[in-house]
Chains A and B, each alone.
Chain A
């Protein structure tokens, strides 16, 4: 049985850890609130852009654009939006699992990754996976410029024929307790069908408008994925740190009980010894 002093030392170290996890939980909670606000604020732009694109395609008649082109699929790329930091429960593990499933599919097409975030990179770097590009160090609030950089890179791969289809794998933020790994198609762009669009004056011309709208659409999709993944990461982190704090509390309770027992046992032994000694003297 461990001595009282050893147990006391363990209690202290667990209590220290509990303080850290508690602080991390609180930090994650306050960052999460901001991240959530950002996700919500970014939705109007994304939705309206999508609607505008749909109406343009519906009213424009003959529209062709390299980013709308469907080609025979030989090379598929996945943009995996993972996090830079760990300590966020199963967040990265879940995303990586989905990515591995997608990569393992066998239909003759070659598959490669574009990795966002240190954690995804660490995992896939050591495996025989083709990583075409990597983006790390997004920080706690991804900005539109980062999304634009990724979009430019991905569009380049698509335009020069290195990739025929591009998907994004990210964690959709459903609620603090629920983040769903999601795979969405990014390229070629498939505008939602919109019927009954009126006659629009389109300036300068439908073709030029598509040229302006499509890159913007891809940027906004990626931006949304970055924000959602970030909010999900913080949600997962908050939950993980909450349960870590809870576990530490349980452990402290258990150790305190063990310590009290050990102390009691020591006292009992001592009394027995004294009584025994006194009896021997008589």
Chain B
């Protein structure tokens, strides 16, 4: 078993997760990043996606709405703009948000903020994926 290290996931409204983990995969802006214990000091930007961590052999997921990760002194800190564990996500709301975003993307009107709709869609999808095992 891999050596455990400390992982903190912090959102603006408060700490979402704090504990010893063996392995973490974060959704970096340029692809997923895997972090094991004693990783070299790192600062990276995170996109919208799913953070997965392995704790005592079990994989858990947290939906992340963009943010940053820092690894230093064998401690990983994830600062996420939004962070939700499966138990914090409302499936109905996420599905409704997904539909809304898809509709907006299909309309292709003049006054639509495509980037925002796309980001909303990504967030909704990542929330739904967090729920599905």
User: Which A residues contact B (CB, under 8 angstroms)?
Assistant: 38, 41-42, 44-46, 48-49, 52, 55-56, 144, 147, 198-204, 208-209, 212-213, 216, 219-220, 223
Contact between B43 and A202 (Cβ–Cβ < 8 Å)?
yes
B6 to chain A minimum Cβ distance, whole angstroms, is 13
Write the nearest CB–CB distance from A100 to chain B, whole angstroms.
31
Give the 10 A-B residue pairs with the shortest CB-CB distance, closest first: A41-B14, A203-B44, A212-B45, A201-B42, A200-B41, A144-B12, A45-B10, A45-B12, A198-B41, A202-B43
The listed residue (B10, B28, B42, B45) touching A44 by CB distance below 8 A is B10
The interface residues of chain B, by DSSP majority, are classed as strand
Query: Does any Cβ of A come within 8 Å of B15's Cβ?
Result: yes
Asked if B129 is at the interface (CB within 8 A of a chain A CB), the reply is: no
Residues B1-60 near A (CB distance < 8 A): 10-15, 28-30, 33, 40-45
B12/A220 in contact, CB under 8 A: yes
A201 to B33, CA, bound (A): 12
Contacts of A38 in B (CB 8 A): 13-14
Contact between B41 and A199, CB atoms less than 8 A apart: yes
Which residues from A are CB-within-8-Å of B28? 203
Within 8 A of A (CB), among B54-69: 66-68
Q: Are A203 and B30 within 8 A (Cβ)?
A: yes
Give complex CA distance A219, B11 in Å: 12
Whether the Cβ atoms of B81 and A216 lie closer than 8 Å is yes
Range, interface on chain B: 20 to 34
Residues of chain B within 8 A of A52, CB atoms compared: 43, 68, 70, 77, 79
A45 and B11 within 8 A (CB): yes
Query: Cβ of A201 and Cβ of B68 under 8 Å apart?
Result: no
| Residue among B10, B15, B42, B43 with max Cβ neighbours from chain A (10 Å) | B43
User: Knowing A42-B14, A216-B67 touch, does A204 contact B79 (C-beta < 8 A)?
Assistant: no
Which residues of the partner chain B approach A208 to less than 8 Å between Cβ atoms?
29, 45
| Structural contact, B29 and A200, CB atoms closer than 8 A | no
Q: 4 other contacts beyond A41-B15, A45-B10, A49-B79, with CB at 8 A cut-off?
A: A55-B43, A200-B42, A203-B30, A216-B67
Does residue B72 face the partner (Cβ distance < 8 Å to A)?
A: yes
Which among B11, B28, B33, B45 has the greatest number of chain A C-beta atoms within 10 A?
A: B45
30 contacts between A and B (CB under 8 A): A41-B14, A42-B12, A44-B15, A45-B79, A48-B70, A49-B79, A52-B43, A55-B72, A198-B72, A200-B41, A200-B43, A201-B40, A201-B42, A201-B43, A202-B42, A202-B43, A202-B44, A203-B30, A203-B33, A203-B42, A203-B43, A203-B44, A204-B44, A209-B45, A212-B29, A212-B45, A212-B66, A216-B79, A219-B12, A220-B12
